[in-house]
Amino acid sequence: MVFNDARQVVETAIDNYREQTSRYTQRISNWMSKGDQGTGFAVTGSGAAVGLLLGIAAGSILLALIAAAHALVTAAVFLTVRMLGLVLRGVDSFCHFIYGVTSLSCPNCARKVLPYPSYRCPTSGCGAMHTDIRPGRLGFVRRVCRCGNELPTTIFNGAHKLDAFCPHCGHALPHGVGTAPEIVLAFVGAAGSGKTRLMYGMIESLQELDDEGVEVECLGDTAERLTQIKASITHTGNTGKTLVTTRPKAYGLRLGMHGGDRLLYLFDAAGEQSYRTETSKDLGYLDKMRILILVIDPLAADSLWSSLPPVERARLARLRSESRMELVTFDQTYEQLQSMGVRAGSVRLALVVTKADLLTVRGETPAYWPEAKLEEWVSTPDGLDLGDLVRSARRYFKDVEFFCTAAVTDEEGNVHRSVAGLVQVLLEHEGVTLRRPARAG
């Protein structure tokens, strides 16, 4: 804009110069052509021509100096304003860094919130949405809304206190977004493997932390959805079928603790969505997580299933997931990570064997085994026979850890220690320390 002003000044001066030059050139030409008037006119015309040339030269130099000075001043102002905006944006980014916020995600559509959340004007009767409130041409420290209200443009001067929304789907974001680091946990596994029951148990385990000084707040409709799961478990003994959807929503929690809040998003999609490339593309949250939880149903292993007495097989048949689909789930999930440009080498894989309360192995409960023994049982043919999966996981992912859980509660309503131990280990990888036993044993 400032350079447009300078250009207009120069163009106006040039137009005036051309007009005056044309006028005086015509007069001089007329004088010079009047030879019958004697040499006086010729001399006068020659003098006027020389004067005009000298005037043009002096005027051109003066015009160039004025234009250059104007350009320098306007450029200095423009660069100063730009630098101020960049400095304020840099300070805002540094505030995110101080809070430990490296990315912002939408729990509804699972897309990255870029470049910034949309903020709604708090003025009653206005509600105008501002899509990018950061310092810029519409304001540096404050942005003026169409209603006249001034909105803060950075985290450090209060932007996080405004109501924030996803710029893609318009879903409301947690209050104070941008000041609390995000932890994204993604659950994958075959249909019926126990993903939802495990996730529900993990949330219950976190809610038990209220007695340890950790405040757990359900975000959005999470509390309502958890109530539905609890009702299903109470009446039918299971969580009910997870529906296939093109946009799996997260279960959102705010963990209030010493050292700052955390936003925890748990994504649990239907197992069938991991079977095919066409449906696994809907798992848009996979590029947001740093921990992938692969849930394994031990009852789906043919070797273990065939070793059970017929009476036990009849009792557990309704709880068994599809045989060997965990391999398909693993391969499709890895391919989806690759197609999304996610380096699996930066992701931790938690391989969780569920339903430990339903089986014993050689008279022992796998939930209490050390990790090395558990990995051996998962890998070997006389165990779950997932050696190929384990070897691929070791080769592709940053780290692979093995857990065995029983997502049940005791007589007092407390979650099984195996689930509490899983929660502790996973959150420790995200910088959250809980006073819990690391494993069930």
Tens digits of residue pLDDT in 319-343: 888 767 888 899 999 999 999 889 9
Q: Are 336 and 286 in contact (CB under 8 A)?
A: yes
Distance set, CA 124 to CA 121, 147, 167, 269 (Å)? 8, 10, 22, 39
For residues 259 and 440, give the distance between their C-alpha atoms in angstroms, rounded to a whole number.
Answer: 27
- Residue 258: predicted pLDDT: 78
pLDDT of residue 392: 95
When pLDDT is cut at 50, 70 and 90, the band that residue 366 belongs to is: confident
The mean pLDDT value for 213-238 works out to 87
115 to 72, 163, 172: CA distances (angstroms): 32, 16, 16
Among candidates 128, 150, 130, which has minimal Cα distance to 141? 150
**pLDDT bracket for residue 253 (50, 70, 90):** very high
Please state, rounded to an integer, the average pLDDT across all residues of the chain: 80
For residue 412, the 8-state DSSP code is: T
pTM: 0.78
Contacts of 169 (CB under 8 A, 6+ apart): 106, 108, 109, 111
pLDDT band for position 438 (cuts 50, 70, 90)? very low
What mean pLDDT do residues 241-254 have?
A: 81
pLDDT, tens digit, 9 for 90 and up, residues 43-54: 555 565 566 566
> Region 125-144: what's the mean pLDDT?
80
3-state SS of 28-94 is HHHHHHCHHHCHHHHHHHHHHHHHHHHHHHHHHHHHHHHHHHHHHHHHHHHHHHHHHHHHHHHHHHH
Report how far apart, in Å, the C-alpha atoms of 288 and of each of 203, 262, 292, 343, 427 are. Answer: 20, 15, 10, 12, 16
266: β partners: 185, 251
Nearest Cα to Cα of residue 424 among 410, 405, 411: 405
Answer for the pair 231, 285: CB distance below 8 angstroms, yes or no.
no
Query: What is the model's pLDDT at position 266?
Result: 95
How far is it, in rounded angstroms, from Cα 300 to Cα 288?
Answer: 30
Confidence of residue 85 (pLDDT cuts 50, 70, 90): low
Check: CB of residue 33 under 8 Å from CB of residue 49: no
Position 42 scores a pLDDT of 53
What pLDDT band is residue 297 in, cutting at 50, 70 and 90?
very high
Is 96's pLDDT higher than 70? no
Are 178 and 185 in contact by the 8 Å Cβ rule? The answer is no
Mean pLDDT in residue range 77-102: 66
Convert the pLDDT of each residue in 377-421 to its tens digit. Answer: 999 998 899 999 999 999 999 999 999 998 777 666 678 888 989
Cα–Cα dist 430/441, whole Å: 23
Query: What pLDDT does residue 441 have?
Result: 46
Query: Among residues of the chain, what percentage have pLDDT more than 70?
Result: 75
